[in-house]
Amino acid sequence: MGRASSSSDASAAKQQRVRAWFAEVSDALVSVFFPSGCRICDRLLTSASRVPLCEECLSSFERVPGVICEICGRPLPGWKKEPDQPVLCPACQDRTYAFDRARSFAVYENAVVRAILLLKFEQIEPLGSWFAHRLAEAVNSEADWLAADVVVPVPLHRERERERGYNQAALVSKPLANRLRLPHKSVLLVRTRARPDKQVLSLEERWESVRGAFATRPGSQVDNLRVLLVDDVLTTGATLDACARALREAGAKSVVGLTVARALRNPLPDTREW
């Protein structure tokens, strides 16, 4: 894809500065006229930010720790990195996911769980942008292998999205694409089969419920694309895997999964099933 000319880059940068200034001014006005409490701990919000969470709650989000599986991003506490040895969790030693790698910003615990619920059920866009900023930092720190052409949110089933009115993954993927200056393709992937109504799914049911549940939209250009696939939470990796499979089948060159949070307490999948 061709790069924009430098003069339009300059005017885009100017526009962005003006927009940033307006955003700052209007944030300040909002906090003056509508003082409110943190949506997690109820502490009065003092900073001029549209994110309805206090600094204490935001900084309490536990980042995914240092040593992680190079493929799936699973934290591996207590593991030591041997020189010239890839760090792979037991699941990734046995199987290959359809995605190339996955990374997450924070551990799915405590305040992060509450924040994801706010994103999921209250459509708090500034929080989505805040998470997107954190994911952009992660992408930029591993720029060598995270190079991508498009950003794609994990889709909801059409009926689910109609009920909810939005897709929470897109609340993060859209501002992420803006930050990375990449096209955002929210309709490239579709979910063709809805998640079962049952609230709690076993590990096997999770994998079963998403197998073949995604497809690329007929007529969309996927060939040779490097895709950043975005979701709110990575639990077993089954959803990212099913999406990545559909993208790879349509010709995608690589798929990297990025999620806001990573559940740690899920057991390792039973590799015999694969």
- Examine residue 72 and tell whether it contacts Zn ion (CB under 5 A): yes
- Decide if residue 213 touches Zn ion (CB under 5 A): no
Q: Shortest approach of Zn ion to residue 237 CB, angstroms?
A: 8
Of 97, 111, 121, 124, the closest CA to residue 63 belongs to: 111
Q: Decide if residue 51 touches Zn ion (CB under 5 A).
A: no
3-state secondary structure 51-85: CCCCHHHHHHCCECCCCECCCCCCECCCCCCCCCC
Q: What is the rounded distance in angstroms from the CA atom of residue 36 to the CA atom of residue 126?
A: 15
Query: Binding of Zn ion at residue 71 (CB under 5 A)?
Result: yes
Count of positions on this chain that bind Zn ion (CB under 5 A): 12
92 binds Zn ion (CB under 5 A): yes
In the set 45, 64, 68, 89, which binds Zn ion (CB under 5 A)?
A: 89
Q: Which is nearer to Zn ion, 52 or 155 (CB)?
A: 52
Helix%, strand%, coil% for the chain, nearest 5: 40, 15, 45
Q: Which two tokens stand for residue 46?
A: 């003092």
Residue 211: closest CA among 238, 179, 178 = 238
| Nearest to Zn ion of 124, 177 (CB atom) | 124
Q: How far apart are CA 40 and CA 47, in angstroms?
A: 15
Nearer to Zn ion, 43 or 164 (CB): 43
- Can residue 57 be called a binding residue for Zn ion (CB under 5 A)? yes
Q: Which residues pair with 152 in a beta bridge?
A: 229
Report if residue 169 touches Zn ion, rule: CB under 5 A.
Answer: no
Quick check: 228 and 176 in contact, CB under 8 A?
yes
Q: Which of 69, 119, 139, 151 binds Zn ion (CB under 5 A)?
A: 69
Residue among 99 and 214 whose Cβ is closer to Zn ion: 99
Of 40 and 170, which has the nearer Cβ to Zn ion? 40
Contacts with Zn ion, residue ranges (CB under 5 A): 38, 40-41, 43, 54, 57, 69, 71-72, 74, 89, 92
